[in-house]
Amino acid sequence: MSPTAAPPPFDAVIPKPVAAVPAGGVFTLSPDARIVVTPASGDAGRVASYLAELVNRSTGYELQVGGGRGTPPAGAIVLRLQERRALGAEGYELRVTPEHVTLVALRAAGLFRGIQTIRQLLPPAVERPGARPGPLRIRTGTIRDRPRFPWRGAMLDVARHFFGVRDVQRFVDLMALYKLNVLHLHLTDDQGWRLAIRSWPRLTAHGGSTQVGGGRGGFYTAADYRAIVAYASSRYVTVVPEIDMPGHTNAALASYPELTCNGVAPSLYTGIEVGFSSLCTTKERTYEFVSDVVREVAALTPGPYLHIGGDEAKATKPAEYRAFVRRVAAIVRAHGKRLIGWEELGRADLRPGTIVQHWHDERVTRRATARGAKLVMSPATRAYLDMKYDPSSPLGLQWAGTTDVRDAYDWDPVAQIPGVSERQVLGVEAPLWSETLRTIGDVEHMAFPRLPGIAEIGWSRAAGRSWNEYRERLGAHGPRLRALGVNFYRAPGVPWR
Ligand code: NGO
């Protein structure tokens, strides 16, 4: 048996489950095993088909999915929705015996998360299409699991460099393996506007035509964006679109001079400075623009959130910033979305329930929580995947220091800011800014292996987490990441297998 065909140990799962008890035996998946799913229709059935496809494409098996009553046939994988309230929206219980694999959840999302656990218990070769590993064995035992936080995200900056639909879908698949559930798309910035807006077509026609370094840029049509959202949703990942304003708007200003205060359009920008652009917050035309954009983005986005950026508005006067945020918040609300923005929103008056994404200024973030905001934690020194691993990293920035794999793992989202309580924290998110990243290979190099650590911080209990134990599990994921063809950084300090 090749090393990549060996069943991983029962305790090598990332994120670490709440409880995992190995039983010492093995289950062997036979090529004609059945996946028995209840109910067989709807989301549960679709999730079962996802599992069958995953296994079939590497093994050449033809696992069949179907319903079934009574005792399942020997060798079956059983997926079942059950009124098990305690499992919550994403929790699951997995029991592997020599006869069956049984996965139970309250919701289809829980089955999907549980399938990622089954996936990680299967030999890594299951990840490589056409690998034909065999026999496929899983160690026996029981896992009970549910996430600590409801928001476990990653952000892709498609504005500084543009990444196409397939690249983003691949990234979603890699997120899903680690049970992440939010994909934040940073769709607009000084260097590019990446989502077509029907009522303001020059935003992409002109504003999407370049990127950092002067390359061709690109943008998503409404159909492209829908394809990303639908794909993400099939992985139980919610897309959060970000339209950054009033700063980080040079691409919009270059496309429509009426959005500037002096009526003169700036040139397109391909550098990496920040903080120099602003929508003209004192012009009514600006609010017509924002309403149109928010209306179209909201209509394309089934998820409940709309991110308005709000960061580094250094070219906007403080009083005007506050007035702007107040008006834009009302527009977002009017279109039925929940407002999220970077921590700077804490400088404005916020409605309770607004979500604020912390990145570096604890004082402003605390002001936001004092106004009833909920936090998504993305401290730059820990969670920014664009920071260099060490000074010799070929890619990445260094303004927040360097962040090795341990730094990215060894922190707690609630303890990060003194005085913040568990109740105030919705979860964690790892932003990947793309000033220095040109290809999806570059993206993978920065995200892996740090992103699985952020995923674990979002999912697993703080008690019992330790770097020394985690790095062993991470090292055991080397063969899986290789089988997936991920361009991950072989970080020193991790015992890679
Ligand atoms: C900052 C800035 C971004 C940069 C990023 C680079 C935020 C919220 N605004 O984070 O425009 O791309 O740093 O690390």
Is any atom of ligand 1 closer than 6 Å to the C-beta of 397? yes
Q: Helix, strand, or coil here: 491?
A: coil
Give me the residue spans of the domains in the chain.
Answer: 19-145, 151-460
Residue 91 has pLDDT above 50, yes or no: yes
What confidence score (pLDDT) does residue 2 get?
54
What confidence score (pLDDT) does residue 68 get?
84
Return the residue whose CA atom lies nearest to atom 13 of ligand 1: 433
Number of Cβ within 10 Å of residue 200's Cβ equals 20
Average pLDDT, the chain: 96
Q: Write out pLDDT tens, residues 477-488.
A: 999 999 999 999
Is any atom of ligand 1 closer than 6 Å to the C-beta of 272? no
What confidence score (pLDDT) does residue 1 get?
45
* CATH class of the domain whose range is 151-460: alpha beta
Query: Among 6-10, 126-130, 306-310, 434-438, which stretch is predicted with the lowest mean pLDDT?
Result: 6-10
Task: Check if CATH label 3.20.20.450 holds for domain 19-145.
Answer: no
Catalytic residues: 312
User: What does pTM read for this prediction?
Assistant: 0.98
Is any atom of ligand 1 closer than 6 Å to the C-beta of 404? no
Nearest to 413 by CA among 224, 158, 147: 147
Residue 4 has pLDDT above 90, yes or no: no
The pair of three-digit structure tokens given for residue 396, joined into one six-digit string: 């990445």
Q: Write out pLDDT tens, residues 26-71.
A: 999 999 999 999 999 999 999 999 999 999 999 999 999 999 888 8
Tell me the best of 249, 312, 395 to mutate to test the pocket of ligand 1, counting ligand atoms within 8 Å of each CB and taking the most: 312
Is any atom of ligand 1 closer than 6 Å to the C-beta of 256? no
What confidence score (pLDDT) does residue 69 get?
82
Q: Band of the pLDDT at 134, cuts 50, 70, 90?
A: confident
Q: Band of the pLDDT at 133, cuts 50, 70, 90?
A: confident
Beta bridge pairs of residue 26: 139
Q: Write out pLDDT tens, residues 344-377.
A: 999 999 999 999 999 999 999 999 999 999 999 9
Return the residue whose CA atom lies nearest to atom 4 of ligand 1: 433
Residue 3 has pLDDT above 80, yes or no: no
Is any atom of ligand 1 closer than 6 Å to the C-beta of 244? no
> What average pLDDT does this structure show over 248-263?
98
What confidence score (pLDDT) does residue 131 get?
86
Residue 5 has pLDDT above 80, yes or no: no
SS3 content of the chain, % helix, strand, coil (to 5): 35, 20, 45
Q: Residue 412 phi/psi, 5° resolution?
A: -125, 130
Residue 82 has pLDDT above 80, yes or no: yes
Q: Write out pLDDT tens, residues 404-463.
A: 999 999 999 999 999 999 999 999 999 999 999 999 999 999 999 999 999 999 999 999
What confidence score (pLDDT) does residue 50 get?
98
* DSSP characters over 29-52: E-TT-EEEEES-SHHHHHHHHHHH
How many CA atoms lie less than 13 Å away from 491 in the CB half-sphere?
25
